[in-house]
Amino acid sequence: MSSGTSSVTPPEQRESFNLRRFLLSGGGWPYVLVPLIPLALALELTHASSELIFASSALGVIPTAALMGRATEELAERAGPGIGGLLNVTFGNFPELLIAFFALVAGLQEVVKASLIGSVLGNSLLVLGGAMLVGGLGHERQTYNHRAASAQATMLLIASAAMVLPAVFQLVDGGGLPAISAEEVDFSSAVENLSLAVAIVLLASYCGGLLFSLKTHRDLFNPPAEEKDEHGEPWTIKRSVTMLAVAGLAVGLMSEILVGSIEETAESIGLSQFFIGVIIVAVVGNAAEHWVAVYVAAKDKMDLAVNIAVGSSAQVALFVAPVLVILSFFFGEHPLALVFNGFELAGVLLAVLIATHVTSKGESTWFEGLLLLALYTMMGVTFFLA
């Protein structure tokens, strides 16, 4: 009898095993960083060094973004493709949008623009390259729906071209591009109004893209769903809403602390605010989503991986950037003009053109991923030395 009794696993041990298994899974690792959230708050309240505050709050954004993504996904599954798509639009880029908003209010407009460009570069080169490299190491060739990828890449290309227009207007009008060391530049009202017009057209285009992908051609963007192996039991609507609210508050708190430490951290460690915005803040704001793309690519789900990489870039250019421009007319000293510096303009045009070319074939190899990562690395070194 004693041997039979000892073979039964206690509930506490089973729960501990399941928790450990979840934290080590592809979707669970961000929650290992949860203790950094109260640590960042404690460091902020005790006025610790800016480097510690910046590092802890930056890493603290990752689990809050992961929780928000999970809650949004659970709600989207129950709401259907239409409302679900709107939920993903609203909350999918919320952490990044909130970080940029606090930076906007703090007068760090050039950091905002750097983080926007950094998100496009990160998704188009770092995430797409990482997904193709990791996925390609286990498969000779990986295929995906080239029509869906091409449609998203076209939206991204058009949005990038539109975001360049205010800079062209500024140069032709006799003005100059922002300096790398600038925090906020007060452009002419003509450039600000042009940026607002571009933002409105981009938002209208994004609404058209939603109609295209969620209604008229949704079969192109919504392949048959596959089983999820890491999420376990589905959440109830009440739990999803509660977790979404908790994640929203945590993201807001971490974003405010992060932005408040940028200036002092940049001075103390010798990095430009431009580099912090274009590389560090951009990567941190999307780290959980970046990992998911690489993780599913390793499982040969390249449709989802390409959708995350290219689709997220398009969302930043068509949705996040225009929303920030419109908000800047109500918050901050000056409206946000979409006039990027020379490094940002070159980076976004090169990245988008190359990503569009790479995804047009409908198949990928590990070597293409390596080349995309090599380009992102070279851009990072250039931005570091700028």
- The overall average pLDDT reported for the chain is 82
Superfamily of domain 27-385: NCX, central ion-binding region (1.20.1420.30)
CB burial string 157-176: b at 16+ within 10 A, e below = bbbbebbbebbebbeeeeee
Residues paired with residue 143 on neighbouring β-strands, in sequence order: 363
Question: Does 230 have pLDDT greater than 60?
Answer: no
pLDDT value at position 237? 79
DSSP state, 153? H
More confident residue, 324 or 174: 324
pLDDT value at position 386? 80
SS3 323: helix
What is the pLDDT averaged over residues 165-172?
92
The pLDDT-based confidence of 85 (bands split at 50, 70, 90) is low
Question: Does 315 have pLDDT greater than 70?
Answer: yes
Q: Model pTM greater than 0.85?
A: no
What is the pLDDT averaged over residues 127-153?
88
Question: Does 244 have pLDDT greater than 90?
Answer: no
Among 11-15, 298-302, 324-328, 347-351, the minimum mean pLDDT is found in 11-15
The pLDDT-based confidence of 229 (bands split at 50, 70, 90) is very low
Which of 312, 320, 344, 319 minimizes the C-alpha distance to 166? 344
Task: Classify residue 6 as exposed, middle or buried by CB count within 10 Å of its CB (0-12, 13-18, 19+).
Answer: exposed
CB distance 58 to 284 below 8 Å: yes
Per-domain residue ranges for the chain? 27-385
What is the pLDDT averaged over residues 220-242?
65
For the stretch 58-83, pLDDT in tens is 888 888 877 877 787 777 677 655 55
What is the pLDDT averaged over residues 78-92?
60
What is the pLDDT averaged over residues 326-339?
89
The pLDDT-based confidence of 242 (bands split at 50, 70, 90) is confident
How many separate helices (H) and strands (E) can be counted in the chain?
19, 2
Residues paired with residue 364 on neighbouring β-strands, in sequence order: 142
Phi, psi of 134 (to 5 degrees): -65, -45
pLDDT value at position 185? 79
CB distance 303 to 148 below 8 Å: yes
Question: Does 14 have pLDDT greater than 70?
Answer: no
What is the pLDDT averaged over residues 85-106?
76
The pLDDT-based confidence of 1 (bands split at 50, 70, 90) is very low
CB distance 187 to 180 below 8 Å: no
| Percent of the chain topping pLDDT 90 | 29
pLDDT value at position 88? 60
How many C-beta neighbours within 10 Å does residue 297 have?
31
For the stretch 21-52, pLDDT in tens is 555 555 567 778 888 899 999 998 898 888 89
Reading the block at residue 374, the tokens are: 């090599």
What is the pLDDT averaged over residues 147-152?
84
Question: Does 188 have pLDDT greater than 60?
Answer: yes
